[in-house]
Each structure stands twice: as structure tokens, then as C-alpha cells.
């Protein structure tokens, strides 16, 4: 089994008895419990405000081969100890979200210089030092990459055709983008993944929690509840929807700048959950592009928009790598009125998004509740189409 981390109960393809399962319902909910269930999202949002001390030694635990991890553990250093970083700069870097050696090591000099208000040549030196300490940025041999890729988890949607098309599930350490017109099922998939990620590995989950950046106010706790009830039936286990809601951390993003800023809070939250029994294994941004599209109107604004989007995407990629998390983003389509042949839609976000997302899926409506997902871009999988169904209890074959 390629993914074994944090799965306290290695379960085969059958459901465990309800009383042994950590997220099974312990007893029937009483009135107080159900009122709490309704405030589950609010709790999560409050949770989002906390600040935590980040320990650099934790940063690559999940994605480094054991030898490198040992080196880092023996040689723990904080960002203050990097040459060229005084307490004031360290503070600025942390405020800008660069709160680990790894985050600095993979930043670009202009990004670091801009956010921490330091000179670009200083930024270059700091990044070089961080790369040496974190042991990133050099060449890796094929066998080392193979070793790191063994950590990649696969999150199943629970729809056989889609999961097969994705090579057994949606990968962690990668960005998966879905695009499609309104009602094509993007938000439905996001909800279903937020439920499934909490299931044990043997049931297609990653036994983790989820962070959702909701830009369109479309997160619905009651939809999660229905889907958890669907999962209970499917796996013949009595799951507690309230427990699932507690592991979903939702923040509304009110504009594109706010959306970008929320990534800092998301990183802090993920750092704080890293050593718990439910580390963050899924980050959802629904919708990735809506604010950018609404705010940057007209040709003259395109370069600015793409630059910001690019920065945001790199923060997402970094999050996926550092936390061994799946990153799931949704995107709208624009109609191409000049397209007389073929499908008259294409995703917005331009080349930057196209090149940064690892997997791209195009969703479209079919008859009734049926939807079609088409894999249009992937580094290692053949293009293909898969059919799935949206039902009141979630997504099925
Ligand atoms: P936009 O965000 O508007 O671009 O669309 P989207 O792609 O996110 O669409 P979304 O995932 O919200 O899909 C909405 C569609 O899902 C609805 O039009 C319904 O067809 C379907 N749907 C949502 N909830 C249910 C449900 O409880 N039961 C069933 N059968 N279908 C549902
Ligand atoms: Mg939506």
C-alpha cells in the first residue's frame, strides 16, 4: 500500500465495526449535540484564527526520505538562524507566511524581497542558505524521487470510472483543477472529497482533515451531512456527521487579496494539525478564479491578474508538497463565441493555470443526474472520460 501514514487502523476493503472506528458515532446525538452540529462551521472558522509556533523539523517529515529527515531532525534550525535574517526580518517573513525554512527555500527572490521588504540580493542569499539547510533545490536521483513519491496518497471520489481514470484516485502533492459550466458538479465534488478524505486509507480516504477556501459562499454543512449519511450506508458503518464537520475548516474569501492572504492562515492551521491524528490532507479552493475574473476586467489588467494568480498557485503547490496534501481547485469556463466546431468552452486563468495544475478535468452535464468528467491534462495518465452520478447522498457510479 503506497500510503500508510497516519492511518491508525490499517483496514482492508471492508468496514470496521462501528464501536472501534474513531469517527463512528459513539452514541445517538442529543439535542445539545445537534445544535452543535449546526455550528460546526462556525467552530471551524474560529479555529482558523489561532496562531502556532511552527517547528521547521516537522516541515518535510512526510515527504523526505528517512535519511534526510534524520539530518533535519539532528540539525534543527529556525529561520532566525539563517545568515542575513535578523529578528526584524524574521518577523516580516513570518508575517508574510514564510514561517519555515522549506517555505523560504522554494520561494523566488522577487517574491521574498517584495513581501519581506528586503533587497533582492539579500533575498537571493537567504534563499540559498535556506536551500542548503533544508536540503532542497539540488538535483535528486531517480531512486530518491521514487522514494518521495511513495509518500503520495490517493484520495478516491468513490466513483469507479473517475477513480480508475485518475489512476486509482486524486494524488496528494499535486494540484487538481476541475473546470466546467455552472451546475456541472465542481462544488459537489469538493464536498464529496471533504467527506472522503476523512475516511481511512482502506476506504479510499487519507484519514485527514480538510481546509476549504470558499470564495462563492457555496459550502453547505447540510450537504456534508447527507454525504456522510450516504457513506454510512455504503460502508455499513454509523458515521457521525458532526465529527466530519469538525474536521472541515472553512474560511470565506471576500476578494482575491483576501483569498491569497488566507493561504498564510491555512498554512498555520495545517502546521498546528500536523502532529494530530487528523493532519490536513486536502486543501480546496472553490472557486480559484472567480474573484480574479470579477476584479480584473479589461485587457490592461491581465498581466497584473496573472502575476497574482501565479503567486497564489505557487503557494498552493507549496502547501501540497509540504503537507503531502491534495490540492483541489475549481475554475469556470468562458464561452468562445467564435468556436463553431467542438466544445465552445475553455477554462479561464490562461496559460499560468494550465501549466501549474498537475491534473485538469473538464466536467459537463449529461442526462439527468449524470455528469461526465474528462481528463484533459495529466503528467502520467492517458486522457479519458468517466461517467458519474450526483445523488442526494453524494456522488456515485
Ligand atoms: P458553479 O459553481 O455555479 O459554477 O457550478 P458547480 O459546477 O459548482 O455546480 P455544483 O457542483 O454546485 O452542482 C449543482 C448541481 O448539482 C445542481 O444543479 C444539481 O443538479 C446537483 N445537485 C446538488 N445537490 C444535489 C442533491 O442533493 N441531489 C441531486 N440529485 N443533485 C444535486
Ligand atoms: Mg460551485
DSSP string spanning 212-258? EEESSS---HHHHHHHHHHHHHHHT--B-HHHHHHTEEEEE--SHHH
Spacing, Cα 194 to ligand 1 middle (Å): 16
Q: How many residues does the chain have?
A: 397
Q: Count H helices, E strands: the chain?
A: 16, 13
| pLDDT by position in tens, the chain (length 397) | 444 444 443 333 333 343 434 444 444 433 333 433 434 444 444 344 334 343 444 433 333 333 333 333 334 467 888 877 888 888 888 877 777 787 787 778 888 888 778 888 888 888 888 887 776 656 778 887 777 778 999 999 999 999 999 999 999 999 999 999 999 999 999 999 999 999 999 999 999 999 999 999 999 999 999 999 999 999 999 999 999 999 999 999 999 999 999 999 999 999 999 999 999 999 999 999 999 999 988 777 877 888 889 889 999 998 998 899 999 999 988 766 555 555 657 887 777 787 788 999 999 999 999 999 999 999 889 999 999 999 999 999 9
Under DSSP, is residue 359 helix (H, G, I), strand (E, B) or coil? strand
Take residue 205 and report the three cell numbers written for it: 480516504
Ligand 1, atom 23: nearest CA belongs to which residue? 188
369 Cβ closer than 6 Å to some ligand 1 atom: yes
CB atoms < 10 A from the CB of 299, how many? 7
Indicate which atom in ligand 1 lies nearest the CA of residue 223: 27
Whole-angstrom Cα distance, residue 223 to residue 227?
A: 6
Indicate which atom in ligand 1 lies nearest the CA of residue 188: 11
Confirm if 185 and 363 have CB atoms less than 8 A apart. yes
Secondary structure element (H or E) that encloses residue 261, with its range:
helix 256-273
Beta bridge partners of residue 390, listed in sequence order: 395
Spacing, Cα 386 to ligand 1 middle (Å): 18
Ligand 1, atom 1: nearest CA belongs to which residue? 182
Under DSSP, is residue 360 helix (H, G, I), strand (E, B) or coil? strand
Task: Please determine, looking at this structure, whether the domain spanning 86-134 carries the CATH number 1.10.150.20.
Answer: yes
Residue 196's φ and ψ, nearest 5 degrees, are -65, -35
Q: For a substitution probing ligand 1, which of 179, 188, 333, 347 has the most ligand atoms within 8 Å of its CB? A: 188
Whole-angstrom Cα distance, residue 221 to residue 193?
A: 14
188 Cβ closer than 6 Å to some ligand 1 atom: yes
The pLDDT value recorded for residue 343 is 60
Spacing, Cα 219 to ligand 1 middle (Å): 12
Which residues crowd ion ligand 2, with CB under 5 Å? 186-187, 218
Spacing, Cα 391 to ligand 1 middle (Å): 10
The pLDDT value recorded for residue 337 is 56
The pLDDT value recorded for residue 336 is 62
Q: In the chain, which segments carry CATH 3.40.50.300?
A: 148-396
Q: In the chain, which segments carry CATH 1.10.150.20?
A: 86-134
The pLDDT value recorded for residue 37 is 40
Spacing, Cα 167 to ligand 1 middle (Å): 25
Among residues 303, 304, 329, the alpha carbon closest in space to that of 316 is found at: 329
Ligand 1, atom 2: nearest CA belongs to which residue? 182
**Which ligand is nearest to the Cα of residue 391, counting in written order?**
1
Kindly write down the DSSP assignment for every residue of 42-56, as one continuous string. HHHHHHTT------G
Instruction: Please give the angle made by the CA atoms of 154, 155 and 158, to the nearest 5 degrees.
Output: 130
Contacts of residue 77, Cβ cutoff 8 Å, sequence gap at least 6: 56, 101, 133
Spacing, Cα 165 to ligand 2 middle (Å): 22
Q: How many CA atoms lie within 13 A of 92 on its CB side?
A: 14
Spacing, Cα 85 to ligand 1 middle (Å): 49
Instruction: Give me the CATH code for the 148-396 domain, please.
Output: 3.40.50.300
Ligand 1, atom 14: nearest CA belongs to which residue? 183
357 Cβ closer than 6 Å to some ligand 1 atom: no
184 Cβ closer than 6 Å to some ligand 1 atom: yes
Amino acid at each position: 500500500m503506497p500510503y500508510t501514514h497516519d492511518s491508525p487502523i490499517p483496514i482492508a476493503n471492508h468496514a470496521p465495526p462501528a464501536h472501534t472506528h474513531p469517527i463512528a458515532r459513539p452514541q445517538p446525538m442529543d439535542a445539545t449535540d445537534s445544535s452543535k452540529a449546526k455550528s460546526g462551521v462556525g467552530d471551524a472558522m474560529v479555529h482558523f484564527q489561532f496562531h502556532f509556533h511552527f517547528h521547521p523539523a516537522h516541515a518535510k517529515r512526510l515527504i523526505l526520505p528517512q535519511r534526510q529527515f534524520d539530518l533535519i531532525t539532528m540539525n534543527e534550525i529556525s529561520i532566525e538562524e539563517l545568515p542575513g535574517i535578523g529578528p526584524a526580518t524574521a518577523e516580516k517573513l513570518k508575517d508574510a507566511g514564510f514561517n519555515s525554512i522549506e517555505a523560504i527555500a522554494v520561494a523566488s527572490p522577487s517574491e521574498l524581497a517584495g513581501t519581506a521588504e528586503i533587497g533582492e540580493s539579500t533575498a537571493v542569499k537567504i534563499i540559498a542558505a535556506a536551500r542548503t539547510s533544508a536540503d532542497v533545490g539540488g538535483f535528486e536521483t531517480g531512486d530518491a524521487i521514487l522514494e518521495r513519491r511513495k509518500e503520495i496518497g490517493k484520495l478516491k471520489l468513490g466513483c469507479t470510472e473517475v477513480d480508475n481514470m485518475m489512476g486509482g484516485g486524486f494524488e496528494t502533492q499535486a494540484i487538481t483543477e476541475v473546470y466546467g459550466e455552472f451546475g456541472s458538479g465542481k462544488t459537489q465534488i469538493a464536498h464529496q472529497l471533504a467527506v472522503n478524505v476523512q475516511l481511512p486509507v482502506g476506504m479510499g480516504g487519507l484519514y485527514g482533515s480538510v481546509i476549504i477556501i470558499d470564495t462563492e459562499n457555496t459550502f453547505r454543512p447540510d450537504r456534508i451531512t447527507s454525504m456522510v449519511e450516504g457513506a454510512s450506508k455504503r460502508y455499513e458503518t454509523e458515521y457521525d456527521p458532526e465529527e466530519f464537520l469538525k474536521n472541515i475548516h472553512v474560511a470565506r474569501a471576500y476578494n482575491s487579496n483576501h483569498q491569497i492572504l488566507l493561504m498564510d492562515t491555512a498554512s498555520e492551521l495545517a502546521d498546528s494539525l500536523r502532529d494530530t491524528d487528523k493532519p490536513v490532507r486536502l486543501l480546496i479552493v472553490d472557486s480559484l478564479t472567480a474573484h480574479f475574473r470579477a476584479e480584473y476586467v479589461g485587457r490592461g489588467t491581465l498581466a497584473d491578474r496573472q502575476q497574482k494568480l501565479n503567486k497564489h498557485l505557487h503557494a498552493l503547490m507549496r502547501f501540497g508538497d509540504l503537507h503531502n496534501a491534495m490540492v483541489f481547485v475549481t475554475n469556470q469556463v468562458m464561452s468562445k463565441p467564435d468556436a463553431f466546431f467542438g466544445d465552445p468552452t475553455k477554462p479561464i486563468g490562461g496559460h499560468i493555470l494550465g501549466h501549474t495544475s498537475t491534473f485538469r478535468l473538464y466536467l459537463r452535464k449529461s442526462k439527468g443526474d449524470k455528469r461526465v468528467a474528462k481528463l484533459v491534462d495529466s503528467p502520467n495518465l492517458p486522457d479519458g472520460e468517466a461517467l458519474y452520478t450526483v445523488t442526494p447522498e453524494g456522488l456515485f457510479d
